[in-house]
Amino acid sequence: MENSFDAIVIGSGISGGWAAKELCDQGLKTLVLERGRDVKHIKDYPTMTKNPWDFDYRGRMPRDFHEENPLITKAAGFAEDTAHFFIKDKDHPYIQKRPFDWIRGYQVGGKSLIWGRACQRWSDYEFKAPKKYGYGIEWPIAYKDIAPWYSYVEKFIGVCGNTDGIAAMPDGEFLPAYEFNCVEQHMKETLLENFPGRYMVQGRWAHLSEPKEIHLEQGRGKCQCRNLCMRGCPFGGYFSSNTSTLPWAKKTGNLTVRPFSVVHSILYDEPTGKASGVKIIDTNTKQEIIYKARIIFVNASALNSNLILLNSKSKRFPNGLGNDQDLLGRYISFHNYRAGAGGEIEGFKDKYFYGKNPTESIIANYRNLEEQDTDFVGGYTIFTGAYRNRTEEVPNDSPQLGADFKHALSKPGSWRIYMYMQGETIPKASNRVYLSPDKKDDWGIPLLVTDVGYDDNDEKMVKDFIVESRKMLLKMGCKDLYSYDSNQAPGLDIHEMGGVRMGKDPNTSLLNEFNQLHTCKNVFVTDGACMTSTGNQSPSILYMSLTARAATYAAEQFKKGVL
């Protein structure tokens, strides 16, 4: 009986933490399995209060580390002060049939410790567009179905923002927003005046700008605007599983967390037609252990969730759990982050900014809303902002010592504006992951093969962003404009989605409207793997909302004896 629980949650990150919280709150004895090490809030944040000069390499990593880890060192936010929350390349290999940068953080809390924290809601446009414009299947839910759960999650985690009244980015339950600086206010006004339908808003971010009672009950405090979030925040100023959902679940007395537990597979029971438990391998001892449960939530992060289900083979499901139609592992998607732009803006020299704003401003998607108005489908969010260089740029041929040099360094430099895109991509069957037939990891589990790439729609979207961003920057008064297409491989966005998509028809999808496997009703998938399409907004808050909804439903079915 010591290995038996009411529910098992695979993964302790953003969605896994929410599954644990909701199931435990409903009274279910819940086991959370995490393949990485344990991380406790504050205790295991070794760099949280260090100064730049306290680091051996002043925040950078040495050359030999970069040479040994060419993948993970590309990741946004990776540096000497955050390296402890990222894997090392050689420890967790995979096979790239086409280039794909798989960014991972294996520890209790997962990537919730190092996520970007942007929290825009989807609108009905995103739920309806794939079917309307013919580039995907129909979602089994609409905005009205998930809107109450967005509100539920926002109130608990704390999301700052304003009520802006934008149809393409619905308002939520917000804490006070972080104010625009003077140039950002100018940017907003310029857009309203010159580009009807293009709205720039203060960042909707998972930060406690003004904590409420529910956040104080979690033991969290006000964001101090240090903008050192990815080190681990000792104040609990931003949301993570470690500061919020897991401790909350722990207080119920119903939670057990087992780190160092690589999930091998989900076990299927032929007589009942349900999953009976999970087989894990202890990462330290290599011992195989089986845990039993009546409900299983798969929240291992999208690609690992695909891997686990593909490796969960039985007589009934020889090609992976629920995989009757060869859909599992297909329609892998991501966000298109390839393009950016910016420039210097004249004026505003009598103004500066205060503090380190942990959020970014957002230009809501303005493409293909009521109708398709471009030669591509889907839309893109633009993240943007303005900053002032700390010092004037001192020409290289000027003296680099002496009083004149020192005085030059004491004068603030020019203001600059930046923009970068986060674009929707089209789910395609040819974009897929599958198991290697002959290569395995240190625990005897087949390596994952990634076969994912861009298409012509992505190229057209990049070009549109570059053209339109230039128009906007010129109207804002920028000079010395630049733009780029990084041509970075998919995956570096760290928004991998799909492979176990939701849908109404079991012939074209694997999950129903409550994230249950159509053919194995006590298995739920609520991380990025469940996504039917990608939308253009940052997806993590949608994962959390889907998870809270599905876990509440699962607990109700459990209590009725259905599961």
pLDDT value at residue 1: 62
| CA 272 from centroid of its chain's CA atoms | 35
Q: Of the given ranges (174-178, 387-391, 499-503), which has the lowest mean pLDDT?
A: 387-391
**Do 542 and 528 meet the contact criterion of CB atoms below 8 Å apart?**
no
Distance CA 127, CA 124 (A): 5
Mean pLDDT confidence for 366-385: 97
Q: Which residue in 305, 338, 364, 332 sits closest to 538, CA to CA?
A: 364
**Do 39 and 109 meet the contact criterion of CB atoms below 8 Å apart?**
yes
SS3 content of the chain, % helix, strand, coil (to 5): 25, 25, 50
Mean pLDDT confidence for 366-384: 97
Distance CA 111, CA 413 (A): 35
Residues listed for the chain: 563
pLDDT value at residue 338: 98
Distances (CA, A) of 114 to 111, 158, 478, 498: 5, 17, 33, 21
pLDDT value at residue 127: 98
Mean pLDDT confidence for 442-467: 98
How many other C-beta atoms lie within 10 A of the C-beta of residue 69?
A: 20
Mean pLDDT confidence for 32-49: 98
pLDDT value at residue 290: 98
Which residues lie closer than 8 Å to 278 by C-beta, 6 or more apart? 8, 10, 33, 263, 265, 266, 267, 290, 291, 293, 296
Mean pLDDT confidence for 207-234: 97
Mean pLDDT confidence for 57-82: 96
Q: DSSP class of residue 98? A: S
Mean pLDDT confidence for 184-205: 97
Distance CA 38, CA 22 (A): 21
Q: Which domains does the chain have, with CATH numbers?
A: 1-155+235-335+429-451+494-563 (3.50.50.60), 179-202+337-423+454-489 (no CATH)
For residue 562, give both structure tokens.
Answer: 């259905």
Determine how β-strand 446-451 pairs with β-strand 95-96.
parallel
| CA dihedral for 329, 330, 334, 339, sign (positive or negative) | positive
Consecutive H or E run containing 63: helix 63-68
Distance CA 198, CA 151 (A): 25
Mean pLDDT confidence for 106-112: 98
Mean pLDDT confidence for 331-341: 98
DSSP 525-543: E-SGGG-SS--SS--HHHH
pLDDT value at residue 501: 98
Distance CA 341, CA 469 (A): 7
pLDDT value at residue 406: 80
Distance CA 160, CA 178 (A): 7
How many other C-beta atoms lie within 10 A of the C-beta of residue 124?
A: 14
pLDDT digits (tens, 9 = 90+) for 381-422: 999 999 998 777 767 777 778 888 887 777 888 999 999 999
Give the pLDDT band (50/70/90) at residue 327: very high
pLDDT value at residue 354: 78
Q: Of the given ranges (115-129, 190-204, 385-399, 502-516), which has the lowest mean pLDDT?
A: 385-399
User: How many CA atoms are closer than 13 Å to the CA of 403, on its beta-carbon side?
Assistant: 0
Distance CA 98, CA 106 (A): 24
pLDDT digits (tens, 9 = 90+) for 243-277: 999 999 999 999 999 999 999 999 999 999 999 99
What is the rounded average pLDDT for all residues in the chain? 96
Burial (0-12, 13-18, 19+ Cβ within 10 Å), 375? exposed
Beta strands in 231-307 (DSSP E): 255-258, 261-269, 274-282, 288-298
- Helix/strand number for the chain, H first, E second: 11, 21
Mean pLDDT confidence for 183-188: 98
Mean pLDDT confidence for 351-361: 90
**Do 29 and 5 meet the contact criterion of CB atoms below 8 Å apart?**
yes
Check pLDDT > 70 for residue 234: yes
Distance CA 433, CA 528 (A): 14
Give the pLDDT band (50/70/90) at residue 298: very high
Check pLDDT > 70 for residue 373: yes
